[in-house]
Amino acid sequence: MERSPSSPAANHVEIKVRPRRGDNVGHPAPVDTSSRPSATPFRLTAPSGEDKPFKRWTSWLVPSFVVVNIVLFAVTMSVNDCPKNSTSCLARFLGRFSFQPLKENPLLGPSASALEKMGALEVDKVVHKHQAWRLITCAWLHAGVFHLLANMLSLLFIGIRLEQEFGFVRIGLLYIISGFGGSLLSALFIQSGISVGASGALFGLLGGMLSELITNWTLYANKLAALVTLIFIIVVNLVVGILPHVDNFAHIGGFLSGFLLGFIFLVRPQYRWISQKFTSQGRTATPINKHRTYQYALLIFSLVLLIVGFIVGLIMLFRGVNVNQRCSWCHYLSCVPTARWNCNSQKEFCETIQFGNQMNMTCERNGRSSIFQLSDNNPSRAQVQEFCRQLCS
């Protein structure tokens, strides 16, 4: 596992950001069964004059998630307190909520050290300092205003529709577990820098939409068109993730987790059972199983695979396994080098000397020196890396 020493150090500075996903995603609409051809054995009408056989939920959890993310971002900015640590803050009239300089954080947000304090994913702390909670908290943090805005708009666009159809319990569990799955895969492949963002959980919602379409196949009109459209949207979003500085492993992990969870949480009764239940003709017909055999098979297979995957992944993580060392091509899933960009971020080397709460630092690349004021006498590695990046930029 590649790690940077604390001081004096070769400090590799990198923040992996999980951007928005699925802005143009629409959940395939269930079949309006009242307009099915007359060849259908039963006309599907809900009892008591209801228009739909499935309950429509009021969405409150997804908007609550959005509020929580916004509040946590505000708290992160308060903890960051840019004027206390920098003389070139952006929008200084905001006081302690002002942003770090654009050359340090172009997304209009806090510093890496502030994100680290709030619970960003840093593999070294997860493995060696027993801070496994970072696998959860990192999905609720964002690197900047643009990052937060993009992810929250995507969450509202995708999540509200799903919560209305399947309820807050199932969608809430799908979102949180998918976020954990994205963080876990990211930690297994990206061992340096820190990672924040909700896009792993957002990809989980996309994966759940795909598996829900597959397992509830009999309830959908224009099945093939809906399937091709959804797959196209997912593939496009995953391809965008191969750009540098984007944590595509979190996207892939979240998508796979959500895809398996969709077979578990988002199962609907088959069309013939609904027809029998909600029609007068159906009440005298031969009883029909509520779910099909393949739905049960997919549920059991997905549950077993998900549990085994999480257990194996956690064991590998806490044993310090770097999966990139065992898979020579896997790094291309997160970044593909081209003539326009390089996937290997430039490493900055700085010499540091600390006197109490002051750190004298010299960048070896450009020879610049500066003295940084420390909030305490024991600065974190992320904070030292950030100072080095500022000095060498």
Beta bridge partners of 244: none
- With beta carbons less than 8 A apart as the criterion, state whether 151 and 205 touch: no
Type of residue numbered 301: F
Q: How many helices (H) and strands (E) does the chain have?
A: 13, 6
The angle that helices 248-265 and 223-240 make with each other, rounded to 10 degrees, is 150
C-alpha–C-alpha distance, residues 201 and 61, integer Å: 14
Using CA atoms, how far residue 306 sits from 178, 245, 261, 323, in Å, is: 11, 28, 8, 19
Q: Look up 192 and say whether it is catalytic.
A: no
From the candidates 27, 142, 147, 251, give the one annotated as an active-site residue. Answer: 251
From the candidates 4, 98, 183, 199, give the one annotated as an active-site residue. Answer: 199
C-alpha–C-alpha distance, residues 50 and 187, integer Å: 48
Beta bridge partners of 196: 17
- With beta carbons less than 8 A apart as the criterion, state whether 147 and 16 touch: no
Using CA atoms, how far residue 340 sits from 244, 336, 337, 345, 391, in Å, is: 11, 11, 8, 13, 25
- With beta carbons less than 8 A apart as the criterion, state whether 124 and 192 touch: no
Q: Look up 12 and say whether it is catalytic.
A: no
Active-site amino acid positions:
199, 251
